[in-house]
Every structure is written in structure tokens, then in C-alpha cells.
Copies of this chain bind each other. A is one copy, B any other.
Amino acid sequence: MGKIKGTRAERELVHMLWSSDFAALRAAGSGSTPLPCPDIIAGNGIRKLAIECKSLKDKAEYIKKEKVEELIHFAKKFGAEPWIAIRFDNEGWFFLNHEDVERSKEGSYIIPLELARERGLTFKELIEKVY
């Protein structure tokens, strides 16, 4: 996705999280640091969320295997739930567990809109989730 469009989507999600009583922030240069880094981190005193974001116009999103492995590594070490957040134009946000995402032959993660609709949580479901 374009960098500006991606940033705008991330900012939207950060504001949504604050409106739902989570403190949230965007990471600096998550694409440029050699260290594992999610796009957004959020917490509400009880739950902590590490979120990799994608925003797109097309009907399916691909995420490189390494990005998902980094998300899982960061989340495990930090003590946070790893989430893949996908924003489809005119459909809004869906939140997926990496285990619910299909893999290509090369190991990339593939998220078609139908799969996001079927297996993803809405924002409301994400923030109301209880363990």
C-alpha cells in the first residue's frame, strides 16, 4: 500500500482505540528498523494489543511471512496479543489472528476480503473480546 494511505489508516485506528479507552501509538519507521516492530501498540491496563496494519483498495491483501513472524515475536516478548488489521475501502476494519489466515506456497499470508469478513473480528468485537 502507499505510505501516505497506510499512515492515514494507522492514524484512524489509533484514534478509534483512544475513543474506546485504549492508550495507543504508532511506531516510528516500522518498515525501516532491523528490529521487530508492529505498526501500532495499544493497552487499556488489562489487555495489550500489537497490531500489523494493512489498508487497501483491492480484493485481497498479501503480507510477507517475515512481517507476521516479527509481529508474533514482538508480541510474545512484549506481552501483547498479536493482531493483523485489514482495512478494505467501503468495508472498514477486520482483525485477524495469524492462525486464521491462509498461506501461499511461498509462505506469504493471503487475506481475501471474503476471508476477512468470515473469520475476522470487527473493531467492536476486538475491543470487547474477553479472555
Contacts and interface: CB of A to CB of B under 8 A. Distances in A.
Nearest to A73: B23
Contacts of A74: 23, 25
Count of this chain's copies in the oligomeric assembly: 2
B37 A78 contact: no
A92 interface: no
A80 B18 CA distance: 16
Interface in A40-99: 41-46, 48, 73-80
If over half of A's interface residues share one DSSP class (helix, strand or loop), that class is named, otherwise mixed; here it is: mixed
Interface residues of A, number: 33
A1 interface: no
28 contacts: A15-B35, A18-B35, A21-B77, A22-B77, A23-B73, A23-B77, A23-B78, A24-B35, A25-B27, A25-B35, A25-B37, A25-B38, A25-B74, A26-B27, A27-B28, A28-B28, A41-B41, A42-B78, A43-B48, A43-B77, A43-B79, A44-B79, A45-B76, A45-B77, A45-B78, A45-B79, A46-B79, A48-B48
